[in-house]
């Protein structure tokens, strides 16, 4: 599959995957979900890549699933569909470390995408929330609870309230908050630090992380 909505770059043993649908706030339509799934599958099989950095073009990290799809299909059915199930499974079960460089708001499925990464570094303008619960789309509790704890995860999943980057840092959702013009520099530094370990060891640790995650997706 040729990538139309993703940019992929390599720097030594680090790959950077950039969501490139900025004019649509990087909303996860079927095409973008499928491109992410295919890209991660190829990067997983690439022995030259140890760590992947995930970021996005424009001022928004990801606005979540594309609501245009909800005009013809109820949200719960979209999430239960083949494309969504394959995408969620591929991101969560990716065998290599994922570092999220969160350049702006990560809402709904964009929040989930950030949470399904292993390390999150946020720009000052980043924000997180699950507004989709207000229009009948289920929120993803398990992976968030594994990161920030069950009490806070229940609050965010049930209320749909937004939190800013500083609150995300305080509750342990992100590892650092940095100026926007330094985001990729910090994310790459984190990725290179992780990549100092042998690839086989990183994959063993990643496997244990996946096994300990509450929510499991079936492909």
pLDDT tens for residues 83-130? Answer: 999 999 999 999 999 999 999 999 999 999 999 999 999 999 999 999
What's the CA gap between 90 and 35, in Å, rounded?
11
**Residue 133 confidence (pLDDT) above 60:** yes
* Of 70-84, 139-153, 173-187, the least confident: 70-84
Count CB atoms within 10 A of the CB of residue 73.
12
Which residues neighbour 43 within 8 Å (Cβ) at sequence distance 6 or greater? 8, 15, 17, 49, 52, 94, 96
pLDDT tens for residues 30-71? Answer: 999 999 999 999 999 999 999 999 999 999 999 999 988 888
Q: What is the mean pLDDT of the chain?
A: 93
Domains and CATH numbers, the chain: 6-212 (3.90.226.10)
Judge contact between 64 and 101, C-beta under 8 A: no
Mutual orientation of helices 30-45 and 82-92 as an angle, nearest 10°? 40
CB hemisphere CA count around 83 (13 angstroms):
15
């Amino acid at each position: 599959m040729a990538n139309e909505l993703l940019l992929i770059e390599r720097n030594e043993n680090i790959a950077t995957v950039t969501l490139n649908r900025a004019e649509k706030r990087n909303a996860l339509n079927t095409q973008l979900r499928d491109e992410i799934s295919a890209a991660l599958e190829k990067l997983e099989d690439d022995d030259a890549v140890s760590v992947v950095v995930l970021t996005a073009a424009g001022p928004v990290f990801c606005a979540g699933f594309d609501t245009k799809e909800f005009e013809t299909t109820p949200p719960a059915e979209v999430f239960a569909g083949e494309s969504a199930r394959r995408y969620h499974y591929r991101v969560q079960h990716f065998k290599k470390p994922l570092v999220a460089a969160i350049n702006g708001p990560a809402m709904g499925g964009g929040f989930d995408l950030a949470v399904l990464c292993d390390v999150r570094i946020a720009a000052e303008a980043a924000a997180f929330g699950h507004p989709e619960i207000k229009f009948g789309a289920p929120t993803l509790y398990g992976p968030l609870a594994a990161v920030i704890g069950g009490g806070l995860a229940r609050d965010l999943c049930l209320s749909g309230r937004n939190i800013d980057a500083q609150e995300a840092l305080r509750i342990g959702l992100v590892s650092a908050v940095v100026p926007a013009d330094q985001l990729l520099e910090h994310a790459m530094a984190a990725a290179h630090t992780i990549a100092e370990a042998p690839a086989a060891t990183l994959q063993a640790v990643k496997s244990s992380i996946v096994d300990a995650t509450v929510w499991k997706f079936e492909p």
